[in-house]
Amino acid sequence: MITCTGCSLLCDDIDVVIENHRIKEVRNACRRGAAKLKGCRNRLRPSIDQTPADIDTSIKRAALILKNARSPMLYGWSNSTCEAQSNGIKLAKKLNAIIDDTSSFCQGLLIEKVLKKKFRACSLDDVKNKADVLVYWGSDAQDSQPRHLSRFSYFPRGESRQRGYEEDRIAIAIDVRESNTAKICKGHFYRIPLKGDREFILSLTGALSGKVPKHDAKRILELADIMKKAEFGAIFVGIGLTYSIKDDVDILVALGDMLPNFHILPMVGHYNMRGFNEALFKETGFVNRVRFDSTAVHENKYAIVEALKQKSIDALLVTGSDPLSCLPGSMISYLASIPVICIDPCVTLTSKISKITIPSAVSGIESGGSAVRMDGKVIELSGIVENNYLADTEILSRIMEEL
């Protein structure tokens, strides 16, 4: 059995058949996981200025760029092992650099609340064993964390939920779009307008305290009733909800406070985003957007999006992410104008504009380590395929040695 790093569920019940140093067959994983485990078609090669180079020279040049930069940023980390993340934080300290990760424009806001214990959280194993009301809010788990419903929430039998979805569990979807998850929540899909989450939360909190909602009163009162009667409820917060209430996350804290039997769990995409958030939080008290100087300073200007917009960084090391494939298109030109060091197993959009590329082993498949599941549980990664690549954590150590 090995662990899948396709998403933050880190399913550890995967069987594989290996042939010629590649995973040939995958059993138990979802489509997303199988694709991740079988690996990309285009492996990255070491290069300098888009010209092939040997790995030692690439590493040396990477160190030189970082050393000479006035304001370097180390970014990515959500597809890196905990070991690489902790090395990355060490490197940032050594360089007095800015460090940020993908949670900066993803679920960081909510993970911070979880780590500061502003939400009542629980483990996915608790969900499996106890949960009777499951609310997918702005989250299409079926397409993003595809085994969430089958391993942990709606379908499985649990200690106090012997009859699973047929009788013991209710699944609810609140979303702008009738997602594949919403389709499963038959009769319990609440379609809201774009940016309508805040108003929906207000209607729901009103209904929970006995007020009749102005719109869709019957259905919202019915939802409030289901939630009030829950013995063990969970709200799975997708990025749809997070983006919609990003300026007022406390409204969700307030909803959680009104529902003493409910737990709030942010749905994380990349396999070890939470690992990075926990590591940096432990070190600095912040989950992302930190600049190390004599102390760790957290400011919004250290968010990747702001730093690129304000053109305030002059070198960027990227690992465990492909920012070019997800940042607003208008940021690409500045990103392409500064020296970028890309550490990745595969050719990515970012590697195509990078000054230095350094290929790494695929973490969890070609190199082992650990990662933190979306609910905070530490899961061991396997590293079962023999290969000649350096692990991401080793590459970072080598860069540090060169400084």
Partner 1 sequence: MGIDVGKFLKSPEFEIAITTYRDIFQVEALEYDRFGEEYRKLSAVIIMSREDMKKMGIKTGDRVKLINDHGSIVVEARESKREEPGGIAFMVNSPWSSALVSDDTGGKGIPEFKNITARISLTKNDISSLENLIFNSGEVEKNER
Q: Which does 147 bind (CB under 5 to 8 A by kind): partner 1, ligand SF4, none?
A: ligand SF4
Q: Which does 4 bind (CB under 5 to 8 A by kind): ligand SF4, partner 1, none?
A: ligand SF4
Residue 270 beta carbon to ligand SF4: minimum distance, rounded to whole angstroms: 10
The single residue among 2, 16, 23, 30 that binds ligand SF4, judged by CB under 6 A, is 30
Q: Which does 104 bind (CB under 5 to 8 A by kind): partner 1, ligand SF4, none?
A: partner 1
Q: Which does 42 bind (CB under 5 to 8 A by kind): ligand SF4, partner 1, none?
A: partner 1
Q: What does the angle CA 357 – CA 390 – CA 38 come to, to the nearest 5 degrees?
A: 85
Task: Establish if 275 lies at the interface with ligand SF4 (CB under 6 A).
Answer: no
Q: Which does 295 bind (CB under 5 to 8 A by kind): ligand SF4, partner 1, none?
A: none
Stretch that binds ligand SF4, among 29-37, 72-80, 172-180, 227-235 (CB under 6 A): 29-37
According to DSSP, the β-strands at 189-191 and 170-175 are parallel
The structure tokens listed for 129 are 């064993």
DSSP 346: B
CB within 8 Å of 362: residues ≥ 6 apart:
39, 345, 385, 389
Residue 286 beta carbon to partner 1: minimum distance, rounded to whole angstroms: 13
Q: Which does 10 bind (CB under 5 to 8 A by kind): partner 1, ligand SF4, none?
A: ligand SF4
- Considering only residues 4 to 23 of the shown chain, the ones binding ligand SF4 according to CB under 6 A are 4, 6-7, 9-11
CB 163, CB 21: distance < 8 Å: no
The single residue among 29, 69, 95, 255 that binds ligand SF4, judged by CB under 6 A, is 29
CA separation for the pair 140, 393 (Å, rounded):
32
How big is the site for ligand SF4, counted in residues (CB under 6 A)?
13
Q: Helix 82-95 to helix 392-402 angle, to the nearest 10 degrees?
A: 20
- Considering only residues 147 to 166 of the shown chain, the ones binding ligand SF4 according to CB under 6 A are 147
Residue 4 beta carbon to ligand SF4: minimum distance, rounded to whole angstroms: 3
Residues interacting with partner 1, by CB under 8 A? 6, 30-32, 34-36, 38, 40-42, 104-105, 109, 140, 142-144, 146, 176-179, 191, 193-195, 239-240, 243-244, 246-247, 289, 300-301, 303-306, 308-309, 322, 324-333, 336, 346-349, 352-353
Sheet-wide strand order for 296-298: 51-52, 47-48, 356-359, 340-344, 315-319, 72-76, 98-101, 290-292, 296-298
Give DSSP secondary structure letters for 20-53: TTEEEEEES--HHHHHHHH--SSB---EETTEE-
- Considering only residues 127 to 146 of the shown chain, the ones binding ligand SF4 according to CB under 6 A are 145-146
- Considering only residues 39 to 78 of the shown chain, the ones binding ligand SF4 according to CB under 6 A are none
Q: Helix 108-115 to helix 273-284 angle, to the nearest 10 degrees?
A: 50
Stretch that binds ligand SF4, among 28-36, 78-86, 216-224, 341-349 (CB under 6 A): 28-36
Q: Which does 174 bind (CB under 5 to 8 A by kind): partner 1, ligand SF4, none?
A: none
CB 184, CB 171: distance < 8 Å: yes
> CB-side exposure of 47: number of CA atoms within 13 Å?
19
Residue 385 beta carbon to partner 1: minimum distance, rounded to whole angstroms: 16
Look up tokens 């108003």; give the residue: 199
Residue 324 beta carbon to partner 1: minimum distance, rounded to whole angstroms: 6
CA separation for the pair 149, 171 (Å, rounded):
9
DSSP 1: -
CB 45, CB 52: distance < 8 Å: yes
For partner 1, give the closer residue by CB, 10 or 131.
10
Indicate the SS3 state at residue 331. Answer: helix
CB 198, CB 245: distance < 8 Å: yes
Q: Which does 244 bind (CB under 5 to 8 A by kind): partner 1, ligand SF4, none?
A: partner 1
Q: Which does 16 bind (CB under 5 to 8 A by kind): partner 1, ligand SF4, none?
A: none
Q: Which does 188 bind (CB under 5 to 8 A by kind): partner 1, ligand SF4, none?
A: none
Indicate the SS3 state at residue 402. Answer: helix
The contact set with ligand SF4 (CB under 6 A) reads 4, 6-7, 9-11, 29-30, 32-33, 145-147
